[in-house]
Amino acid sequence: MNYKSGIIKSLGLSVFLLFVVQQTTDPVYAVEYFVGGDLSYNRIEIAGEHFNPVSLRARGGAWLWRGVGVEADISAGVSDDENAGLKLELPLMASIYARFQTPYEAGLNAYILLGFTSVELDGQSVNDDFPGSERFSGPSVALGLLEYLPFMPDTSLSLEIAGHFVDSDIELINFSLGLQYDF
């Protein structure tokens, strides 16, 4: 599949879902905001080789309607990984999403993120024929769970898995554990 058409389909689906949810839910009378921080374990597969760098992610967003919002995040690698003579780093990853979440009253909340990701990968080869730094971008989707912490008002523990479809030759999945604070 052509990545441009995939991006257009992903964004079109996000806009359609935002419209449907807007028509079927009560609006939030004032925009509400949230921020979060996560530790992410990344699984990257390139040409059959696996790399597992760790990154830190900062994210923030706004609720536009009850259970419907937008989110942006940025990640920076805190470790690299080496395999088959190639050292791979993930210095930067940024994403923007439409966010759909179950109601707060449910206790344990589930959410889905639909959006777009840009990622930079840095590689160093023992024989120096790797191109160095490259940037990739494409659609992404994430599924997550939130559990509100009773001893910390407006704070929740989050667990998330995300798939980033940035290139047909690269598989990028990350697993994140973090905290979210709602204003």
Percent of the chain scoring above 90 in pLDDT: 42
Residue 177 C-beta-side C-alpha neighbours within 13 Å: 2
Amino acid 28: pLDDT: 46
Residue 100: C-alpha distances to residues 54, 65, 89, 141, 146 (Å):
26, 10, 31, 11, 12
Question: Does residue 100 surpass a pLDDT of 80?
Answer: yes
Mark residue 57 as left, alpha or beta (left: phi above 0; alpha: psi -120 to 50; beta: remaining).
beta
On whether the CB atoms of residues 59 and 35 are closer than 8 A, the answer is: yes
3-182 topology per CATH: Porin (2.40.160)
Query: Residue 167 pLDDT more than 60?
Result: yes
What are the residues whose beta carbons fall under 8 Å from the beta carbon of 53, sequence distance 6 or more?
A: 42, 44, 77, 79, 80, 81, 88, 89, 90
| Residue 28 per-residue DSSP state | P
Measured at the CA of 106, the angle between CA 102 and CA 110, to 5 degrees, comes to 40
Cα–Cα dist 131/5, whole Å: 27
Q: Read off the pTM.
A: 0.78
The model's confidence at residue 128, banded by pLDDT at 50, 70 and 90, is low
Mean pLDDT of 73-79: 91
> Which whole number is the average pLDDT over 68-96?
87
User: What confidence score (pLDDT) does residue 24 get?
Assistant: 54
Decide which of 96 and 153 is more confident. Answer: 96
User: To the nearest whole percent, how much of the chain has pLDDT over 70?
Assistant: 79
Residue 22 has pLDDT above 80, yes or no: no
* CA dist., res. 25 & res. 144, Å (int): 21
- Strands (E) located in 1-107: 32-46, 49-51, 54-65, 68-77, 81-83, 86-101
Q: What confidence tens digit (pLDDT) does each residue in 133-160 have?
A: 888 889 999 999 999 888 888 899 999 9
Using alpha carbons, select from 182, 178, 183 the residue that is nearest to residue 75.
178
Q: Which range among 2-16, 75-89, 132-146 has the greatest average pLDDT?
A: 132-146
Tokens representing residue 5 in the block? 């058409």
Beta-carbon count within 10 A of 61 CB: 21
